[in-house]
Amino acid sequence: MSEQKQHNNILLAVAGFTAVVVTVALIGYFTIGRTEEIIQGEIEVSEYRVSSKVPGRILEIRVKEGDYVHAGDTLAILDAPDIRAKKEQAVSAESAAQAMSDMAANGARRQQIQGAYQVWRQAQAGAEIARKSYERVQRLFNEGVMTAQKRDEAYANYRAMEAQEKAAKTQYDMAVEGARKEEKAAAAAQVNRAKGAVQEVNSYINETVQTAQFDGEVSSIYPKVGELVGTGAPIMSVAIMNDCWGTFNVREDLLKGLKTGDVITAYSPAFNKEIKMKVYYIKDQGSYAVWKATKSNGQYDLKTFEVKARPVTGFDGLRPGMSLIMRQRQ
C-alpha cells in the first residue's frame, strides 16, 4: 500500500512539473521576442522671432520672459536717429518736388512772361543792327574797300545775333504757353517718387516700435536695454502655445506600418494621462540618424524617422519640452 501511495506521489510530482514546464513554455512563446519598446518624444510649439528691419539701440523692453502677450501689444522700443534724419531729408525732397510740380501746372508768372518778352525784343533789335552792319560791310567789300575777313566777321556776328533772337523768341513762347504735358507729367512723377520715399522712411520708423504679431508667451529675450541690435537681429522669441505637437524619433522597425492620419496613444508623465494624437508628418531623418548594426551576421542598418502628431482634442497645460511616451511591441 505504501508503494502504491509512493508511486502516486511520484506521478503527481511529474504531472505538476510537466504543468509548470508547459505554463512556462506558453508564457515564453507569447512574450519572448515581443519585448515592449519605449519611444520617448517631447512637446514642441510654433515660435516666431521679433526683429527689426532697421538697426538701433534698445530704449525699452516692455515684457519679461514668461509673459503672455496678445497680438498688437508693444514689446520693445528702439532708437534710430539715422532714420529720423532720413525722414527730414525725404520730407524736404517731397516739398521741393511739389513746388516744381505746382510751377509746371500753373505756368509762368506775369512778371516772367514780361521779362521773356523784353529779352526777345532786345534780341530782335540786336539782330536787326547786326543785319544792317553786315549789309553795309558787304557793300564796302563789293567796292573793294573792306577786306574779306571783316566781311566774314560781320556775317558771323549777324548769324549769331539771329540765332540768339530765335532762342529768346522760343523762351518767350514757352513762358506764354506754360509747361508741356510731358513736363507736367514728369513733375508729377517726381512728386509721387518723393512721397514713396517718405512712406518708406515712415515704415522704417514704425519698425522702431516692435509689437506682437500673434498671441503667445515670451520664451526668450536676447539683448538688454541700451544695447545695439543690427538689421534683422532677433530681439525676443514668442511661443504660440495653442499650436503644439509631439515629436518622436522612431526607428524604422518600430513604425509597424504607421502612416499619416493614424491615431496613436502617448502617455504624458507630467499629467499622468494618456493623450490621443493624430500623426500628420513622417520623414526620414537622413544618414546622421542611422542605427548601425553591431554584428555582421544577418544584421543591417536601420534608419530613424521623425514622426509628428497633434492632440486629437484640446489639452490644456501642454508646454514645450514636456515628455511624451509611446510604447511599441516588437
Mean per-residue pLDDT pooled into runs of 10, the chain (330 residues)? 59 62 58 69 94 90 95 92 70 69 59 75 83 84 80 80 82 64 68 74 82 94 92 93 93 85 93 94 72 60 89 89 83
Q: Give the phi and the psi of residue 237 in degrees, each rounded to 5.
A: -115, 140
20 and 121, same domain (yes or no): no
Total number of domains in the chain: 4
133 and 174, same domain (yes or no): yes
294 and 216, same domain (yes or no): no
152 and 296, same domain (yes or no): no
Q: Please report the pLDDT score of residue 107 as a whole number.
A: 52
Q: Report the CATH number that the domain containing residue 230 is assigned in CATH.
A: 2.40.50.100
Q: Please report the pLDDT score of residue 75 as a whole number.
A: 96
Residue carrying C-alpha cell 551576421? 297
Distances in Å between the Cα of 160 and the Cα atoms of 101, 113, 156, 214 are: 34, 24, 6, 74
**pTM, entire model:** 0.57
How confident is the model over 150-163, as pLDDT tens digits?
777 878 887 888 88
Q: Please report the pLDDT score of residue 97 as a whole number.
A: 67
Q: Please report the pLDDT score of residue 224 as a whole number.
A: 93
198 and 142, same domain (yes or no): yes
Q: Report the CATH number that the domain containing residue 257 is assigned in CATH.
A: 2.40.30.170
DSSP letter assigned to residue 312:
S
How confident is the model over 30-72, as pLDDT tens digits?
555 556 788 899 999 999 999 988 888 999 999 999 999 999 9
199 and 95, same domain (yes or no): yes
107 and 190, same domain (yes or no): yes
Beta bridge partners of 276: 265
Q: Please report the pLDDT score of residue 105 as a whole number.
A: 58
189-192: list long-range contacts, CB under 8 Å, 24+ apart. 190/97, 190/100, 190/101, 191/94, 191/97, 191/98, 191/101
57 and 163, same domain (yes or no): no
DSSP letter assigned to residue 35:
P
Angle (CA) 113 119 123, round 5°: 140
Q: Please report the pLDDT score of residue 144 as a whole number.
A: 80
**CA 237/CA 255 separation, integer angstroms:** 34
**CA 210/CA 54 separation, integer angstroms:** 11
Q: Please report the pLDDT score of residue 200 as a whole number.
A: 75
Domain that includes residue 128, residue range: 85-203
Q: Please report the pLDDT score of residue 279 as a whole number.
A: 94
